[in-house]
């Protein structure tokens, strides 16, 4: 009988507990050797433990699943995506022989996914499949080409180049795109900045993260103002003025 060593990665402890319970009660051939709520810790854990299978949540605040996969050194495992969003790029996973489970996980679907893993264990290196899924989201230099945001029960994939600026609204952030209606995401600005993680973006104020490629004018003053392509004027804090000037000069 095939024995499968699995790792679960999900930023929600309850989701990990539920999946563990399903596995322990209905999938006797799988042993959950570890679980992680932190994607950063998960990367180290997967590289070190070298599991046969990874159950991976895609939408996580610290790093999304695409970024986690791109940063792994060890990729010789079967991958099962776990997601609460039915329309989240699932066709891409299907086309690359990567299974997925919708949360809350259905017992029969979990069993079917496990059976697929058992039939393929030791025969498939998912590096190619992972690269194929990632190629629409991560370029060859490791920079994110698309960023996933959960909005109104669905996932939007947005290119950083299309974002003008992001404005803090407490625990939420408004993301403004060129010629599109702003979207509101349930992450604070610091989380959004970390998620975008792109060299063209600069925090010029406590409340604003701007794409410097979309600045058309800088108005001098105490800290000054920038004018964006949509004619929005955004104040620059004094502490960020030098950073902005360096970015503008080097652009």
pTM beyond 0.75: the answer is: no
Higher pLDDT, 131 or 221: 221
pLDDT in tens, 154-176: 777 788 888 999 999 888 999 99
φ, ψ for residue 71 (rounded to 5)? Answer: -95, -5
C-alpha to C-alpha distance for 174 and 184, rounded to whole angstroms: 5
Q: What CATH number does domain 162-250 carry, 3.40.47.10, 3.40.50.300, 1.10.101.10, 2.40.50.1020?
A: 2.40.50.1020
C-alpha to C-alpha distance for 148 and 187, rounded to whole angstroms: 12
C-alpha to C-alpha distance for 218 and 100, rounded to whole angstroms: 47
Nearest to 84 by CA among 69, 61, 109, 105: 105
Q: At what angle do helices 13-26 and 107-120 cross, to 10 degrees?
A: 70
- For the chain, the C-alpha Rg in angstroms (whole number) is 21
Residue 6's pLDDT band (boundaries 50, 70, 90)? very high
User: Which fold, 4-134?
Assistant: Rossmann fold (3.40.50)
Nearest to 60 by CA among 92, 85, 78, 93: 85
pLDDT in tens, 25-78: 999 889 999 999 999 999 999 999 999 999 999 878 777 787 788 788 998 888
C-alpha to C-alpha distance for 214 and 193, rounded to whole angstroms: 16
Q: Read off the tokens for 132.
A: 């194929």
Domain range list for the chain: 4-134, 162-250
């Amino acid at each position: 009988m095939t024995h499968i060593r699995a790792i679960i990665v999900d930023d929600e402890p309850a989701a990990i507990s539920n999946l563990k319970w399903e596995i322990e009660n209905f999938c006797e051939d799988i042993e959950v050797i570890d679980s992680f709520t932190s994607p950063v810790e998960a990367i180290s854990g997967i590289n070190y433990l070298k599991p046969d299978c990874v159950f991976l949540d895609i939408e996580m605040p610290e790093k999304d699943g695409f970024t986690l996969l791109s940063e792994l050194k060890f990729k010789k495992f079967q991958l099962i995506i776990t997601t609460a969003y039915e329309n989240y790029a699932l066709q891409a996973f299907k086309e690359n022989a990567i299974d997925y489970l919708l949360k809350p996980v259905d017992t029969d679907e979990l069993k079917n996914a496990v059976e697929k893993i058992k039939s393929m264990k030791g025969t498939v290196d998912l590096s190619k499949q992972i690269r194929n899924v990632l190629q629409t989201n991560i370029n060859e230099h490791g920079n994110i080409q698309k960023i996933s945001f959960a909005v109104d029960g669905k996932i939007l994939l947005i290119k950083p180049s299309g974002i003008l600026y992001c404005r803090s609204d407490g625990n939420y952030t408004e993301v403004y795109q060129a010629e599109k209606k702003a979207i509101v995401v349930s992450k604070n600005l610091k989380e959004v900045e970390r998620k975008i993680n792109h060299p063209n973006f600069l925090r010029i104020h406590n409340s604003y993260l701007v794409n410097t490629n979309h600045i058309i004018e800088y108005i001098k003053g105490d800290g000054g103002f920038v004018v964006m392509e949509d004619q929005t004027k955004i104040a620059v804090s004094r502490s960020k003025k030098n950073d902005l000037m360096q970015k503008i000069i080097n652009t």
